[in-house]
Amino acid sequence: MKFSNAKTALSAIAFSLVLAAPTSAKALDWPQIEAQAKGQTVYFNAWGGGEAINAYIAWAAKEVQARYGVTVQHVKITDAAEVVKRVQTEMAAGRTTDGSVDLMWVNGENFRNLKSNGLLYGPWAEALPSWGLVDLKKPVRSDFSVPTEGFEAPWGTAQLTFIANKAVTPVPPRSAAELLTFAKANPGRVSYPKPPDFHGTTFLKQLLLNLTPAPALLQQPVTPQAFASATPALWAYLDQLHPSLWRAGIAFPASAAAMHRMLADGELKMSLTFNPNEAANLIASRQLPSSAYSFGWTQGTIGNVHFVAIPANARAKAGAQVFANFLLSAPAQAHKADTRVWGDGSVLDVSKLPPDLQALMRNKAPGALTESVPTLAEPHASWVEALETEWLKRYGAR
Amino acid sequence: MLSIKNLTLRCGSQTLLEHLSLEIGPGEIVTLTGPSGCGKSTLLNWLLGHLDAAFQASGSAQLNGRSLDGLAIEARCIGILFQDDLLFAHLSVGQNLAFALPAAVKGAQRRQRVAQTLAEIGLEGFAERDPATLSGGQRARVSLMRALLAQPQALLLDEPFSRLDAALKVQFRSFVFEQIARLRIPTLLVTHDLADVPPGGRVFDISTWQPQHV
Amino acid sequence: MAHAERHPLGATLALALVGLVFVPLLPGLLWAMGPSLSASVWQALLTDPQFAQALLATLVSSLFGTLLACLMAAGLATRLYPSPAWQRLQQRLPLLLSVPHAAFAVGLFFLIAPSGWLARATGYFLSWASPPEWVTVQDPYGLSLALALAFKESWFLLWVLAGVLGEQAVARQMAVARSLGYSAAQTWRLVLWPQVAPRLGWPVAAAFAYSLSVVDMALILGPGNPPTLAVLTWHWLSDPDARLQTQGGAASMVLLALFSVSAALAYSGWRAWVQRRAYPTGQRLPAVQRPWPWQAPVLGVGYAALGALVVWSVAQSWFFPALWPDAVTWDNWRYADAAPFWTTLWLALAVSLLCLPVVLIWLEWGPKQLNAVLYAPLILPALPLVAAQYAVLLHLRLDASLLALVWSHLLWVLPYMLLTLVGAYRAFDARLMTSARALGCSQLQACLRVKWPLLLRPLLLAWAVGFAVSVAQYLPTLFAGGGRFATVTTEAVALSAGGSRQVLAVQALLQVLLPLAAFALAFSLVRLRSRNRQGLR
């Protein structure tokens, strides 16, 4: 009797241990992951169009090499859609275990593309040790209204910011209507990057949010009817705007970086970026005159969180997770938020950080965005492709 | 008559020829001999007006009373025959000859003259032929007639027989001398083969005018 | 030149080595363009809103560019040959020839952009505060691209012309024709051009094929909205959407068709003109003196572009309308990213050193009739070939590897090396080999100990040319390298889209310095080796 009781007790304990295993196994697995990661090479596919960003990634790679023995190679890309293609092609060709991409910087419609086609490894993001520091009040679990479900880890925050030159434009336009007036007063000196460049697309979304009669529709997946009712105001606005633009709207700058260059020389009077501290970086690296400053729109500008994700066929999944964990860690996030380095907003809860790191994140360099601009939520990811296709159809070729 | 007065040819600091004076009468063939590379061809180039920029020359030349100094090649009326026949490959044999005919000969007369000339050199009916299909001897003959059809007032021969084999050489040589005698133009022949000297013609060794130093 | 005995082992080796580079292209072409053979793809292509304008931009830039290049080269040759100025021109060409296309495009961009040096110089006199609204770069019809192509290709054509006109027979033909009473200009028109022009046929075809398919120069100087057809094809081929990929394959075929049709038209036009050639009238026209100095802008633009690169690379901050940088600094060089430089260096070394023995084996033992096949990559638009290579690599799962990168470069380095070496090889006195073999060497030994050492100068020159070609490659590095390998060329093109002009100038100059270093090395090695051996020079 005693024995059978003991047996039941033992099996009960064993069963509860098994039940408990997943949660404590997560905590246990991390050292295993670190051990696996040692010696691996992680190919991190990330946008290479910003020198401050490239320098930060190089710093992070060096740190991770020193601390965990993981080699990180920054593969510079111009558009995350390229990486989506590569992963898609590889998976379609049956290459399911040794893909060429281990970790990618991604968000929005590219993430949606990957996730809905089952091309992502996961879930893994919420099992990272650094997850505990993340500020859950920020939209870190929903990417352009698509739930992340742990398939991507947050990396930083971004907010659409405009840059101008105080010597030339002391009072900037702060809404779509003001922009139209400004463009007409300064013909040939305003423009935006050509979609599907993501800065250009975001500018379109910004205008749409400012002009559309039905903003709520934008948070839902796009349908032909929703598109037809929400966007006419945008196209009418653009039809009015384009003749006053640079090169009369027949040609557009290829990227935001090209626009920064044109702003520096005075060819354009305005540029835009996702990083509120980009102007400060550019002034420091002598790409913009010291009279450049950042500003936002009165009603707010689009803000989002950007992430890193692991493709399903990644070769170095453990190494990728270790690197992602480092990127999410307090020292890395603080270094990233330091405006002397990159100035990209952190996804961590600042109150959970030690004071010296908090101080780093409060540095403001000249040229950075000093005013507080409300953040507008991104439309649903499916709107991106619809907007880009329609824009290309209307203005893509002249 | 072709006369050269006090010609000195220099290549940089090196003097090739000095104080060369020569007079060639109508129909006369003067031969210049000597080893290669000592200025024979350069002298011909100078007379032609085609002196390479690496050389400097001082002296004067006159042709039939007309001074040649400063005249462009095309204004000198001096014909030249090189070792290679240099027939224009893109033109037929007849067109090569017609190229040389003066513009005064017009229309159908041009073809007649060409046909006549070809008959004279034993190449009747060759007017439409591609020069590359002719034998070496035939090409040499066409080349000479081309030079002569342009009615030059003097003729320069730069080792024109050296590429031909022995039998052909003798034949072609006598043909050339015949034509020159017929047209009575002063000719300067440059060669390193003494057998090329025409009977009774003056021969000069180029060393006569080379600087006397070791 | 024919060897008395056939060497089956040598021939097999030659064919095998060359086959490794070329044969995989055949299935690759099938995989890359097979799916594009359906009517729906063609319909989608032709109705794509960007297609018509892109096609127009491509036609304008390549036809106009090549035509202008021919006119510039012909004009210079007619004006300058055979004077000392022509010799000086010949001496200056190698420097400009070794400037890769992308670097020249960047330099030209720095010159003629609305905020470029030319605008700043003009603005200096006209007191401009902001850049003019010129459409000098990235214009919708590709005229600035045509201009860049024209200058670059004119140097190449001049170099070919220099070789052809350097032959003694040509010089003497000029003397003969002029002695018949024709002026220099008439001699060119009636005698020299009809004979020289056919020999320019292949170089002009190669230049035209390049301009049809050029992507790096088009990204820097060509239109953006829509881009040229080559850039559009490249975007489609790299797109996630499989439908657009097949559309890209169809567009590659359009590029091939454009080339073939233009070449056929040009050739039949030439033949028709030859047929209509009039019987010589004997008309002698007086010489015409054309006083303006043609040569200054043709070479001058090249030097100005290089100058712009140099100044930008040492500039601290340099905003419009300043004519000179605010301050000069070496920081741009000191903190330059050296990784692309080293990648380019080892890649070019590996490719050129691998290619040299292959070319030598082919020239010695390979069947000469197949040389035409090896020259094909020179005169075909590059995009279809690169797409084929990528398809093969994907099938073999070798893409984005070092091996893939080196292999893909071989396809272009091999023809250039062959072209450089074939003349000297054929002109080699066969009796030297016969003597060596009579002294007891096998053919291989005779090659190793007699022939190839004697061909040192052409060999090293060919190596330097192969090195330079590898440095300048853009599309193969992107496709076969899977975007993993950054060379100075890919860096320069990527940076030209935006970002620091100083960094861009440094990378573009590195792109120029690498081939120059290779040529300098080749020439000094020749000089070293031929110190006591005049016959090797």
Taking contacts as CB-CB distances below 8 angstroms, the residues of chain C near B80 are 175-176, 179
What is the Cα–Cα distance from C161 to B207, expressed in whole angstroms?
Answer: 38
Q: What is the mean pLDDT of chain A?
A: 86
Would the CB atoms of C181 and B98 count as touching at under 8 Å? no
Q: Please indicate if any CB of chain C lies within 8 Å of the CB of A82.
A: yes
Q: Tell me the nearest-neighbour CA distance from C179 into chain B, angstroms.
A: 5
Q: Which of A251, A396, A398 is facing C138, going by the closest CB pair?
A: A251
**Interhelix angle for C84-97 vs C295-313, to 10°?**
30
Q: Please indicate if any CB of chain C lies within 8 Å of the CB of A257.
A: yes
What is the reported pLDDT for C449? 85
CATH value at residue B73: 3.40.50.300
Q: If you measure CA to CA, which chain C residue comes closest to B87?
A: C173
Q: Please indicate if any CB of chain B lies within 8 Å of the CB of C289.
A: no
What is the reported pLDDT for C293? 60
3-state SS class at C84: helix
| Contacts for A262 with CB less than 8 Å, ≥ 6 apart | A246, A253, A268, A271, C115
Q: Please indicate if any CB of chain A lies within 8 Å of the CB of C31.
A: no
Half-sphere exposure of C246 (CA within 13 A, CB side): 13
Residues 116-175 of A with CB under 8 A from C: 168
Q: Please indicate if any CB of chain C lies within 8 Å of the CB of B152.
A: yes
Q: If you measure CA to CA, which chain C residue comes closest to A286?
A: C317
Q: Which of C133, C240, C400 is facing A84, going by the closest CB pair?
A: C240
pTM for this model (two decimals): 0.86
Within-domain flag for B141? no
Helices (H), C48-188: 51-59, 65-80, 84-97, 101-112, 117-126, 143-165, 168-179, 184-187
Q: Please indicate if any CB of chain B lies within 8 Å of the CB of C176.
A: yes
Within-domain flag for B7? yes
What is the reported pLDDT for C1? 43
Within-domain flag for B122? no
Q: Please indicate if any CB of chain B lies within 8 Å of the CB of C281.
A: yes
What is the reported pLDDT for B212? 66
Would the CB atoms of C179 and B80 count as touching at under 8 Å? yes
What is the Cα–Cα distance from C144 to C136, expressed in whole angstroms?
Answer: 6
What is the reported pLDDT for C292? 57
Q: Please indicate if any CB of chain C lies within 8 Å of the CB of B38.
A: no
Average pLDDT over residues A207-235: 90
Residue range of the domain that includes B71: 2-77+152-209
Q: What pLDDT digit, counting tens, does each position of A97-117 carry? A: 888 899 999 988 899 989 999
What is the Cα–Cα distance from A250 to C224, expressed in whole angstroms?
Answer: 10
Q: What pLDDT digit, counting tens, does each position of C411-444 carry? A: 999 999 998 888 888 888 888 888 888 888 888 8
Q: Predicted confidence band at B146 (pLDDT cuts at 50, 70, 90)?
A: very high
What is the reported pLDDT for A22? 42
Q: Tell me the nearest-neighbour CA distance from C252 into chain A, angstroms.
A: 19
Residue A320 tokens, joined: 């990728």
Within-domain flag for B130? no
**CA A325 to chain CA mean position, Å:** 17
Taking contacts as CB-CB distances below 8 angstroms, the residues of chain B near C283 are 103
| Contacts for C360 with CB less than 8 Å, ≥ 6 apart | C421, C447, C452, C459
Helices (H), C279-401: 295-313, 331-334, 339-365, 371-379, 382-395
Between A345 and A189, where is the model more confident? Answer: A189
Percent of chain B with pLDDT over 90: 22
What is the Cα–Cα distance from A347 to A159, expressed in whole angstroms?
Answer: 13
- DSSP 8-state assignment for residue A375: E
Within-domain flag for B135? no
End-to-end CA distance of chain C: 22
Q: Tell me the nearest-neighbour CA distance from C189 into chain B, angstroms.
A: 12
Would the CB atoms of B76 and C179 count as touching at under 8 Å? yes
| Contacts for A144 with CB less than 8 Å, ≥ 6 apart | A107, A108, A109, A111, A112, A304, A378, A379, A380, A381, A384
What is the reported pLDDT for A8? 54
Residues in chain C: 537
What is the reported pLDDT for A3? 45
Is the predicted ipTM greater than 0.95, yes or no? no
* pLDDT at residue C164 is higher than 90: no
- For chain C, which domains are there? 1-34+335-537 (1.10.3720.10), 60-225 (1.10.3720.10)
For testing contact with chain B, the best of C164, C179, C182 (most B CBs within 10 A): C179
What's the total number of domains in chain B? Answer: 1
User: What chains are in contact with A, requiring at least 3 Cβ pairs below 8 Å?
Assistant: C
* pLDDT at residue A93 is higher than 80: no
Would the CB atoms of C173 and B88 count as touching at under 8 Å? yes
Average pLDDT over residues C359-380: 88
Would the CB atoms of C482 and A188 count as touching at under 8 Å? no
What is the reported pLDDT for B192? 83
Q: What pLDDT digit, counting tens, does each position of A45-64 carry? A: 998 878 889 889 999 999 99
Within-domain flag for B114? no
User: Whose structure tokens read 């047209």?
Assistant: B183
* pLDDT at residue A1 is higher than 70: no
Q: What pLDDT digit, counting tens, does each position of C201-216 carry? A: 888 999 999 999 999 9
**CA C340 to chain CA mean position, Å:** 21
- DSSP 8-state assignment for residue A164: E
Q: What pLDDT digit, counting tens, does each position of C440-457 carry? A: 888 888 888 888 888 888
Q: If you measure CA to CA, which chain C residue comes closest to A187?
A: C133
What is the reported pLDDT for A26? 46
Residue B124 tokens, joined: 């009747």
Q: If you measure CA to CA, which chain C residue comes closest to B86?
A: C173
What is the reported pLDDT for C282? 81
What is the reported pLDDT for A6? 53
Taking contacts as CB-CB distances below 8 angstroms, the residues of chain B near C178 are 50, 72-74
- B and C touching (3 or more beta-carbon pairs closer than 8 Å): yes
User: Whose structure tokens read 């730069």?
Assistant: B158
What is the reported pLDDT for B213? 55
**CA C371 to chain CA mean position, Å:** 19
Q: What pLDDT digit, counting tens, does each position of C13-27 carry? A: 899 999 999 999 999
What is the Cα–Cα distance from B20 to B6, expressed in whole angstroms?
Answer: 5
Q: Is A107:A155 a contact under the CB 8 Å cutoff?
A: no
User: What chains are in contact with C, requiring at least 3 Cβ pairs below 8 Å?
Assistant: A, B
Q: Predicted confidence band at B15 (pLDDT cuts at 50, 70, 90)?
A: confident
3-state SS class at A75: strand
Q: If you measure CA to CA, which chain C residue comes closest to B45?
A: C175
What is the Cα–Cα distance from A295 to C134, expressed in whole angstroms?
Answer: 29
- For chain A, which domains are there? 34-156+305-362 (3.40.190.10), 161-303+373-395 (3.40.190.10)
What is the Cα–Cα distance from B39 to B196, expressed in whole angstroms?
Answer: 19
Q: What pLDDT digit, counting tens, does each position of C510-533 carry? A: 999 999 999 999 989 988 887 877
Q: Tell me the nearest-neighbour CA distance from C194 into chain B, angstroms.
A: 7
List phi, psi (to 5°) of C143: -70, -35
Q: Predicted confidence band at C4 (pLDDT cuts at 50, 70, 90)?
A: very low
Within-domain flag for B84? no
User: Whose structure tokens read 């193969």?
Assistant: C476
Average pLDDT over residues A307-316: 93
Q: Tell me the nearest-neighbour CA distance from C7 into chain A, angstroms.
A: 43
What is the reported pLDDT for B206? 83
